[in-house]
Amino acid sequence: MPGNSIAKKLLVVDDQDEFHQLIKAILKDDDVIIADAFDGDEALEKVKQERYDLILLDLMMPGATGGDFIRNTLHHAIPLPPFVVMSSMNDSNLVKNILGVGASAFIHKPVSAIELREAVKKLLRI
């Protein structure tokens, strides 16, 4: 972890605690602070209160899809953070649609540690 850099803030939005723990384990050596939300409503409240440098979110969650969350966040987050959407669904039209809504990247679950770290580093420029 670089000593002179400012830690980047990530918001992980997924309804499964195990997934939050996996993301934290994968990114533990990076200079990031990770906040948790377990559904779209909780995540939207956090976005209204705090600025995040990156949001990692599951596509299918209780209450709202990842696309719904991105659309709702457009009205509340200034500046708008990049979004990485993750899903076990393997549909090229779905990927195209979610990228069209505003996601910066799409990662298929199960998440590869290498793919996740590369996407995070690229989007955060770390």
Task: Output the pTM of the full model.
Answer: 0.88
Cα angle 21-26-30, degrees, rounded to a multiple of 5 = 115
For residue 28, the model assigns a pLDDT of 92
* Amino acid identity at 22: L
Residue-wise pLDDT tens digits, 34-70: 999 999 889 989 999 999 999 999 988 877 778 888 8
d(CA 107, CA 110): 9
For residue 77, the model assigns a pLDDT of 64
User: For the range 100-109, what are the long-range contacts, defined as Cβ-Cβ under 8 Å and sequence gap of 24 or more?
Assistant: 101/67, 101/70, 101/71, 102/70, 102/71, 102/74, 103/66, 103/70
Q: Which CATH architecture has domain 8-110?
A: 3-Layer(aba) Sandwich (3.40)
Tell whether the model's pLDDT for residue 1 goes beyond 50: no
Of the candidates 82, 7, 72, 24, the one whose C-alpha atom is nearest the C-alpha of residue 45 is 72
Residue of higher predicted confidence among 95 and 25: 25
Residue-wise pLDDT tens digits, 76-126: 767 889 999 999 888 888 888 888 888 999 999 999 999 999 999 999 987
Tell whether the model's pLDDT for residue 3 goes beyond 60: no
Partnered with residue 96 across adjacent β-strands are none
